[in-house]
Amino acid sequence: MIRVRVTQTWGSTPREVGAEMFVTAAGCTGTIGGGRLEFDAIARARQMISAAETEAVMEITLGPDSGQCCGGRVRLGFDRAGPSPLPAPPQVLIFGAGHVGRALARLLSQLPFDVALIDSRAEELSLATGCRTRLEAIPEAVIAAARPGAAYVVLTHDHGLDFLLTTEALRRGDAVYVGLIGSATKRARFLREARAQGVDTTALTCPIGAGFTADKRPEVIAVFAAAEITARLTANATVR
């Protein structure tokens, strides 16, 4: 297996330094940007496999001659090192398997995140498709056990449970995103009660996916909330 890694860039390029892919004689995983750049890199990696080479460097100008119009230049490093240990993907914990929760979980499950749709109601979870579900009688325990840097989205059927889960997520202090579904009125009430308990609400996003449209269809809310969450999770993500 050959690792192909973007080691330096100049100008406009499809991927940034650190992006990598792994090439075998029969396949490959990951991407360094697609197009002719990737085609040539795969060909060079397979040449290394055939010739038993251990290291190589390639520089490619992304202009008309290469069929890519980025206009920049890329230096690629090739080596036989095994895949570097990958960090666990960011967790997205979605509490509440109603219409919005199910739609949001389906969307985010297509991205490189560790997504779980959590509810205490088996009948609601049974309606979910295209995502991983967790039946939890004590959902707040999931928050306590989550990895640092997780995203929490709270949209349950019960306002009291919403309050409990949201405050637990905020109290952790390491959440990348804490979102609560609701109206301006619900937000005001939550802020008042949370502050009365000494909870720092600075990190709260409520309503979720707001500011884009007044459309309240679950699928539409889910699309904008997914964009919001993805922006937060990828802002400082490790490049792969």
**Total structural domains within the chain:** 2
Task: Please tell me whether residues 67 and 138 are part of one structural domain.
Answer: no
Alpha helices in the chain, H assignment, sequence order:
35-51, 99-108, 122-125, 140-145, 159-172, 184-196, 218-234
Tell me, what DSSP letter sits at residue 181?
Answer: -
Residue 99: which of 38, 205, 181, 19 has the closest Cα? 181
Mean pLDDT value of segment 54-62: 91
- Taking 90 as the threshold, does the pLDDT of residue 34 lie above it? no
Rounded mean pLDDT of the chain?
90
Residue 236's pLDDT is 59
Mean pLDDT value of segment 5-28: 90
Task: Please tell me whether residues 183 and 227 are part of one structural domain.
Answer: yes
Of residues 222 and 212, the one with the higher pLDDT is 222
Q: Which two tokens stand for residue 117?
A: 């749709």
Contacts of 12 (CB under 8 A, 6+ apart): 62, 70, 71, 72
Residue 60's pLDDT is 86
d(CA 240, CA 231): 16
Task: Please tell me whether residues 50 and 97 are part of one structural domain.
Answer: no
Of residues 240 and 232, the one with the higher pLDDT is 232
Tell me, what DSSP letter sits at residue 41?
Answer: H
Task: Please tell me whether residues 212 and 105 are part of one structural domain.
Answer: yes
Mean pLDDT value of segment 157-165: 93
Task: Please tell me whether residues 119 and 166 are part of one structural domain.
Answer: yes
Confidence category of residue 239, pLDDT binned at 50, 70, 90: very low
Which three-class secondary structure string do you get for 49-86?
Answer: HHHCCCEEEEEEECCHHHCCCCCCEEEEEEECCCCCCC
Mean pLDDT value of segment 83-91: 73
Tens of pLDDT along 116-146?
999 999 999 999 999 999 999 999 999 999 9
Task: Please tell me whether residues 133 and 193 are part of one structural domain.
Answer: yes
Residue 69's pLDDT is 63
Backbone phi, then psi, for 190, in 5-degree steps?
Answer: -65, -45
Range of the domain at 74: 2-79
**Residue 84 within any structural domain of the chain:** no
**Residue 158 within any structural domain of the chain:** yes
Task: Please tell me whether residues 166 and 52 are part of one structural domain.
Answer: no
d(CA 89, CA 109): 12
Beta bridge partners of 75: 8, 59
Task: Please tell me whether residues 142 and 184 are part of one structural domain.
Answer: yes
Confidence category of residue 76, pLDDT binned at 50, 70, 90: very high
